[in-house]
Amino acid sequence: MADEALFLLLHNEMVSGLYKSAEQGEVENGRCITKLENMGFRVGQGLIERFTKDTARFKDELDIMKFICKDFWTTVFKKQIDNLRTNHQYLAFTCGLIRGGLSNLGIKSIVTAEVSSMPACKFQVMIQKL
Amino acid sequence: MNYPLYIRSAPTENELKFHYMVHTSLDVVDEKISAMGKALVDQRELYLGLLYPTEDYKVYGYVTNSKVKFVMVVDSSNTALRDNEIRSMFRKLHNSYTDVMCNPFYNPGDRIQSRAFDSMVTSMMIQVC
């Protein structure tokens, strides 16, 4: 895997670049969070494809959630856990990442995040039952 | 909704016959998957094995965790082709598909137009035929 610093710098630029273009009126302000979330979604889909390529077949939804909570989470967040921000703009991409990962495994969800007490960050994953 | 992200056949005449075969085999794939879900036996493999034989062909299946189905139709007269070779072909397909998914210019659900994917399939087909 590439150096973590590369992603952090890119993420920083993504956020500030997007908000700058919002200031200049190119993008509506409220859309910035959505755009970041959608970027994360697409990346999450790809990550999950790569991470589940060599795993066993998931039997059921419980299997999937166990994978997300253990393997996927530690691979993605063990790197991120020291770098938490309070602003939602920095969490949007990550929420999208989780939602994209779940989506590619056939689970529709809504992912939100909140930081009530640093350095903890709570992600809420709401799964839509069909 | 089932539609092919990618379909390739050799020989190219009678392509429609192969398209039809692949399409009908999807039902067999679904049956196998749902049978696994109910069975007490753990079927942990992504490779499904032989889906069904016809007089002239053997049809093999593979389903990823992202619910993407790969179907391979092979001439029955090709007795040299072993199970482990079929498995490794599916692995190659899966690996290449993963590369396609990780290409940010690829939109999931679109037909696959990757040249790398094409040449992987071409070399596999040449090896078999």
Q: Which ipTM value was assigned to this complex? A: 0.85
Q: Hey, which bits of A51-128 come out as E strands?
A: 109-114, 122-127
The 10s digit of each residue's pLDDT in B34-48 is 887 666 556 788 999
The residue to which tokens 């007269």 are assigned: B77
The residue to which tokens 């970027």 are assigned: A39
Q: What are phi and psi of A13, to 5 degrees?
A: -65, -40
Q: Which site among B41, B94, B101 would you substitute to test the A interface, given the most A Cβ atoms closer than 10 Å to its Cβ? A: B101
Question: Which CATH number does the domain housing residue B49 bear?
Answer: 3.30.450.70
Residues of A in contact with B44 (CB under 8 A): 56-57
Q: In this structure, how many other beta carbons lie within 10 angstroms of the beta carbon of residue A128? A: 8
- pLDDT over 80 (residue B126): yes
Tell me the shortest Cα–Cα distance from B46 to chain A, in angstroms: 6
Which chain B residue lies closest to A106 (C-alpha atoms)? B66
Rounded to an integer, the average pLDDT of B95-124 is 96
- pLDDT over 60 (residue A130): yes
Which chain B residue lies closest to A105 (C-alpha atoms)? B66
pLDDT of residue B129: 73
Give the C-alpha separation, A109 to A100, whole Å. Answer: 9
**What integer best gives the mean pLDDT of chain A?**
83
Q: Is residue B40 part of a domain?
A: yes
Quick one: tokens of B18?
Answer: 């192969």
Tell me the shortest Cα–Cα distance from A116 to chain B, in angstroms: 34
Residues of A in contact with B43 (CB under 8 A): 57
Percentage of chain A modeled with pLDDT above 70: 85
Partner A contacted by B54 (CB < 8 A) = no
Give the C-alpha separation, B37 to A58, whole Å. Answer: 10
The 10s digit of each residue's pLDDT in A13-59 is 999 998 888 887 766 667 888 999 999 999 999 999 999 999 999 98
User: Which helix H or strand E contains B58, and what residues bound it?
Assistant: strand B57-63
Residue contacts between A and B (CB atoms, under 8 Å)? 47
Residues of B in contact with A46 (CB under 8 A): 101-102, 104
Nearest to A57 among B46, B98, B104 (CB): B46
Range of the domain at B27: 14-127
Q: Which site among A53, A68, A105 would you substitute to test the B interface, given the most B Cβ atoms closer than 10 Å to its Cβ? A: A53
DSSP-derived letter for residue B4 is: -
pLDDT of residue B40: 57
Q: What are phi and psi of B50, to 5 degrees?
A: -70, 125
**Total domains in the fold of chain B:** 1
Asked if residue B41 lies in contact with residue B26, where contact means CB atoms within 8 angstroms, the answer is no
pLDDT of residue A76: 81
The residue to which tokens 């069975």 are assigned: B39
Q: Is residue B6 part of a domain?
A: no
Nearest to B102 among A46, A59, A60 (CB): A46
